[in-house]
Amino acid sequence: MAHRMLGFVHTEKRMPEKRTADDRRRDFDEIYGEFDHAGAQEQANRCSQCGVPFCQVHCPLHNNIPDWLMLTAEGRLEEAYEVSSATNTFPEICGRICPQDRLCEGNCTIEQSRHGTVTIGSIEKYITDTAWEKGWVKPRRPSRELDRSIGIVGGGPAGLAAAEMLRAKGYRVEVYDRYDRIGGLMTYGIPGFKLEKHIVQRRVDQLVEQGVRFHVNADVGGTLPFAELRARHDAVLIATGVYKARDLQAPGSGLDGIVPALDYLTASNRVGLGDVVPEFESGRLNAAGKNVVVIGGGDTAMDCVRTAVRQGAASVKCLYRRNRANMPGSQREVAHAEEEGVEFVWQSAPEAFLGDRAVTAVRAQRIHLGVADATGRQTPQVIDGSRFTIDAELVIKALGFDPEDLPGLFGEPDLKVSRWGTIGIDFRSMMTSLDGVFAAGDIVRGASLVVWAIRDGRDAAERIHAYLTSKAAAEAPAVAAE
């Protein structure tokens, strides 16, 4: 029976049940429950089926949101899953961790008309979690095998999305990752309270079933020369992400107890996965019982403060030089952090770290936001005489990431990079300056989002396929003439 949709006129926006802050603080489980069927149906029915769906325009994957909302409202979940998975390789992951307030939901017409957005992300998650439960999520095995192989450097979302598409077309696909587990930042960066690890692992298992080969502990440019990879495969995709942590130069910044964000989050994720992590055991990367100061205002900083709360920190403060309205992190994540007991110290920047051998306090200064610079952002200016001190036995630096020096690492001086070190590609072919070498994800865009990495990975798969197809066509007459 067709539903009428437009339910927003009589049905309030409702999210799936959110666990209380007290409950959340005790573990690393996700903070939202799941819709029940009636809840998902009712919320999907709020959509007004816009002629120009701005939700879809602002989704990096251009997901066909109105259609899968209508199918959900009509109880046709298997079809909803077919439509949703046609454009998204990992819809249940995006449903969990996309900053929807900045993408699909933030641009939903009924949000703009102040009725409260359609809860697109939660419904996307519900559709795909149900599909997994019912056994509708199947590996896309190729109908024929092609005699060409592709090497993918990096098993994060960009590499995995490309691997899935290329394998489905029949290519032999091998993914090389320097870590001991696949998933990139979805496994070792993003904490379990946003994305539980079994959600990533079941996707990796399914790629194995599909026939993708994974090589873990394969450090390309280190133990495994890049040139060897190029010789082994007909095309190579670089999807290595960005990992060089931005640092902070201030008196005392070399003291013990001042650590980079990704070291801290990786240790926490490893402990959650059952690994023994000596630096966690020794207390270096463990916030338990400590006063913690996190420096930065992005999503990584939000993940650090919320991890510290769960590890049992005595206090957790976030120091950020701009104000709430100008922080790069998602407002939704800030709200979660505040509920969980994090204190935000806005418009403040560290001046020095105090302590003999290990840090005991951060000396900070207040910031005034001055006139806007060329980028349109107000320039932070130190307010004279505004010094103050915060106790801290653990300081976490979450100041963002830059690319590593890939031309140097890979021994490929002809690999062109931008002035920021990201890999330069031809935006039509997605090929780098090296023939047959493509690139996708954060290593091209700079630190970005999982949904953009998926989009890039899918696009790169199409471009690699086009490249190999035209190469085969060009070679064919020569072979015939021999």
88 binds ligand FAD (CB under 6 A): no
Q: Is 293 in the site for ligand SF4 (CB under 6 A)?
A: no
Nearer residue to ligand FAD within complex by CB, 165 or 239:
239
**Distances, alpha carbon 125 to alpha carbons 29, 41, 95, 107, in Å:** 16, 13, 5, 19
Q: How far apart are CA 56 and CA 413, in angstroms?
A: 40
Which residue is associated with the tokens 């390309």?
A: 220
Count CB neighbours of 97 within 10 A.
22
Q: Which of 32, 54, 132, 179 touches ligand FAD (CB under 6 A)?
A: 179
217: left (phi over 0), alpha (psi -120 to 50) or beta: left
How many residues form the binding site for ligand SF4 (CB under 6 A)?
Answer: 28
Does 50 interact with ligand SF4 (rule: CB under 6 A)? yes
Q: How far is the CB of 65 from ligand SF4 (least distance, A)?
A: 5
Q: How far is the CB of 48 from ligand SF4 (least distance, A)?
A: 4
Q: In the window 408-467, what residues touch ligand SF4 (CB under 6 A)?
A: 451
Q: Which of residues 186-245 bind ligand SF4 (CB under 6 A)?
A: none
* For helices 450-481 and 157-169, angle between their N-to-C axes, nearest 10 degrees: 40
The answer to whether 174 and 236 are in contact (CB under 8 A) is no
Q: Provide CB contacts within 8 A for 426, sequence distance 6+.
A: none
- In the window 202-261, what residues touch ligand FAD (CB under 6 A)? 218-221, 239-241
| Residue whose token pair is 């070190």 | 421
- Among the listed ranges 25-33, 51-59, 157-165, 464-472, the one in contact with ligand SF4 (CB under 6 A) is 51-59
Q: Which does 104 bind (CB under 5 to 8 A by kind): ligand SF4, ligand FAD, none?
A: ligand SF4
Crossing angle of helices 299-310 and 261-272, in 10° steps, is 50
Core vs surface per residue 249-261: b (16+ CB within 10 A) or e: ebebeebebbbbb
- Is residue 118 involved in binding ligand SF4 (CB under 6 A)? yes
Residue 297 and residue 302: Cα distance in Å, rounded? 7
Q: Does 412 bind ligand FAD (CB under 6 A)?
A: no
CB nearer to ligand FAD: give 7 or 151.
151
Rule CB under 6 A: which residues touch ligand SF4? 47-50, 53-55, 59, 61, 63, 65-66, 69, 88, 94-95, 98, 100, 103-104, 108-110, 118, 120-121, 124, 451
Binding site for ligand FAD (CB under 6 A): 97-98, 153-159, 176-179, 184-186, 189-190, 194, 218-221, 239-241, 265, 299-300, 303, 441-442, 448-451, 453
